[in-house]
Chains A and B, each alone.
Chain A
Amino acid sequence: MAIEDDVCVIGGGLAGMTSALRAAREGARVRLVSHKKSTLRHASGLVDVLGYTPDGELVAEPFGALAALPAGHPYERVGVDAVRDGLGLFDEVVGDAYYGDHTDANALVPTHGGTVKPTARYPESAAAGLASDPRETLLVGFETLTAFDAPLAADHLDAAGVPAATRGVTVPFPGAFRADSRVTRFAHALDRDEAIETNAGTTGARRALATAVDPHLDGAERVGFPAVLGDDESSDVRAALETRLGVDVFEVPMGPPSLPGLRLERLFTAALDDAGVRRTTGNPVVDFEADGERIQAVYVDRNGQRAPFHADEFVLATGGLVGKGIDSDRDGVIEPIFDCHVPHPDDRYEWFVDEAFGDHPFARFGVDVDAELRPLDADGGIEYANLRAAGGVLGGADFAAEKSGSGISLATGYAAGRAAGEAV
């Protein structure tokens, strides 16, 4: 007697949630097991498919570029239809909260570093900020929010040759906030429109912020803020600022902790609950039980206690080197749960190159899979008949350089979830 499900998905990021959702649509009883809070909190909230080819060429239309990817790339394994299907599922989950589904072309979204990211989908809050938009732009940073230096970001964008004249200004966030206030503190102050003490008396936080920015407008037709404009009420916050400033307002995606990422996490979590997916979080999967061909159960660990989760089909979506789905030490590179084969050179001095932003082999480390996304052993045989892998744990793509992380998660998550659900 134990906890039993049809499909068990390990990992609560974009790939895991997509897998679980897709498997549930096959009518399977699905459980999502994850260790910590979803890594979406670390994600910019932008959903890319392919921004650059592996050779570093900018991609205007990703679907046309997929066919040229090398064998072993996750997109090559699942095929272009899975990429479209994965995006389609994403569009259903997020509804009006995201833009970009009207076209196959990449959008160009400015980032907090002042770079321009080619991306397939972007949050509604970033829509007015596209780099292709020629309207004059003011970027606003806050003194205590050091992760976004607005003047520097504006200079970067200018240097990159964006069509819009772009300026940056740093203002104090109105009110007596601590110097080390976190992004959620600002967001919630705007959500609740908290009373703020200013020189002109007490006003709501939204109005106080607009008042602080207004003198710097100077003809700008849109204003970009770091992505702290509200959490639950971000649309209202933006609308209030737009009304007061009389120009469009947008958010610039930020690093962790990321509010657009948090909002996306909430949308997916709600979709999982609606689909009846069972979620178990808080403990890592550390071990498994198998009868040679098939995995019977995985074990989560809590201080030495092992709790089994049984299922017919398993999806491994534990992430890559950062997500800890792939681990390494001086002796080699491993996939720690099932010990799936991770192709890599024996000599660890061949795992990297000397240039910091060079073409590092380690960036492509991960498990190799067949067209069904089943991990392959060192001889090219299938590791386990009922195990599939999705997302960052897959090798063969340098997603950070290609700007393909979200797309790979959606496409392979979709394909793995569908296959697992159908196999039940």
Chain B
Amino acid sequence: MSDADSTDEFEPVEVFETTDMDLRSGSDDCYKCSTCDTSCPVAEVDDEFPGPKFQGPEQWRLKRKEGHEIDDSITGCSNCMRCDDACPSSVPLSQMHNTARGEYVESQRFGREALAALRQGEPREALEIVRNGTDGLVERVRNRVLANYRTSAWLASKVPWLANRAMNFGPARWLMEATLGVTKEREFPAFADQTFREWWVERGGAHVGNPDKQVAYFHGCYSNFNTPEVAKAMVHVFEEFGYEVLVPPQKCSGTPMFANGMLGDARRHAETNVENLAAAIDGGADIVASCTSCSMALRQEYPELFDLDGIDSVAAHTYEAVEYLRLHEDLEGELAAAEVDASEFAYHAPCHARNQGIDRQAIELFSDLDGATVEDVGDSCSGISGTYGWKEEKYDYSMEIGEEMFEHMESADGETGMTECPTCAMQMEHGTGYEISHPLELLEEALV
């Protein structure tokens, strides 16, 4: 961009070598106002966490230099992405964090020391290394297990009654905390007797055929294995509006994998998702998701982190389910004419709803619905952030972040919680004992 004609001139843009993922402009756009730092829920409770300004732009510059490794603290980021929403300069903070975390995990010597000891015929030393956790092997295994929730859930869904008992069996949970560092404080979510996809096959697929109004449903893992009632509500509501619902083959959105730096795993899942969703788009469908982290991944993290055929099209055609109806139907008019049994909800907007511009959607939408009172419990983070609050060393921070939300829930009139995010729902239930519902379920009650 220089005015200079001569190619020998000093070009400031060439100071930094470019990589596949050139985030330099993001660093340059940061003017150090620190708004991101003051929006970071982890930095708020964890004095050892330097905050997004360091993790993103400052660390990006540091690691250009020889001998500067990515700081361990990158694993303290919960990937709530509030910093993205805060930055007045549109610095791609979460993209920087995800990229750095991926590099960090890639470069860690997980397990190598123990394996080397084994090869030298020193099994005792290898055991000692693993036991001390000095090479991060245990943490890596734990993070991988947590991040690949879909795999565990798929297994559990084969024998839900057994899984539900075994997963919350006290001694087993103690062992999991002691060996893997998965907190024993939380209840594992119950697995449904019948997954959403099993139900979908059983009912014979779509009940409405309409080549002009098609949506492909990205149900994600949780509403398939744990809360099929949310997925069914989505199907019923969309069919009520005359949509043909498609349920393409799909894997995990990758959200828990990004948060744990497992970009290889995330990419493998993304390949399947993008391929199938792009095919649905080519057939004339839009993509809808009922989980705000899933829609967030498809809309923002995919194009930011991966270069796959059709990925931009998937990002541009993905919507959160309720948002889609607001944009394409007279949802408000329908709700104004509807009523539900008297019910009061304490609504929490997930962090991942914010960057999509839908954090006020449920409050706004249900304000005119006769019978329902939906109260906002404030704009704090729930604190669980997917896998973050499941880690034994993070559990206390997770609960400290959630404190404000718990207090607001307790003081709200409703005794039922409401949110779009499965793990926020876990945290809301864990902190208050409330039952938690999804906006789609209330829509279903009102309109179907």
Contact = CB atoms under 8 A, between A and B. Distances in A.
Interface of A: 1-3, 36-37, 39, 41-42, 177-178, 180-185, 188, 256-257, 262, 278-283, 300, 302-305, 307-308, 323-324
B360 A278 contact: yes
Contact of B37 (A42, A257, A279, A283): A257
Residue picked from A1, A3, A183, A262, most chain B C-beta under 10 Å: A1
Given A1-B330, A303-B315, A36 B360 contact: no
A36 B47 contact: no
16 contacts: A1-B327, A37-B86, A180-B50, A181-B47, A183-B34, A185-B43, A185-B47, A257-B35, A257-B37, A281-B85, A281-B354, A282-B354, A282-B358, A282-B359, A283-B357, A302-B300
B35 A305 contact: no
B317 A1 contact: no
Sorted from nearest, which 3 A-B pairs have the closest CB atoms?
A: A282-B357, A304-B316, A256-B33
B124 interface: no
Contacts of A188: 44
Contacts of A305: 299, 315-319
A363 B51 CA distance: 33
A256 B360 contact: no
Interface of B: 33-35, 37-39, 43-44, 47-48, 50-51, 54, 85-88, 90, 299-300, 303, 312, 315-319, 323, 326-330, 354-360, 364
Contacts of B43: 182, 185
Contacts, number: 99
Given A1-B330, A37-B86, A281-B85, A302 B356 contact: yes
Contacts of A300: 357
Contact of B85 (A36, A39, A256, A257): A36
Contacts of A324: 88
B213 to A, nearest CB: 12
Contacts of B312: 303-304
A113 to B, nearest CB: 17
B303 A280 contact: no
B52 to A, nearest CB: 11
A282 B47 contact: no
Contacts of B34: 182-183, 256-257
Contacts of A282: 85, 354-359
Contacts of A303: 299-300, 303, 312, 315-316
A86 B37 CA distance: 32
Contacts of B50: 180
Residue picked from A183, A282, A304, A324, most chain B C-beta under 10 Å: A282
B359 A182 contact: no
A37 B357 contact: no
B38 A257 contact: yes
A278 B364 contact: yes
Contacts of A181: 47
B168 to A, nearest CB: 34
A42 B38 contact: no
A323 to B, nearest CB: 8
A41 B34 CA distance: 10
Contacts of A283: 355-357
Nearest to B312: A304
Nearest to B88: A36
A39 B88 contact: yes
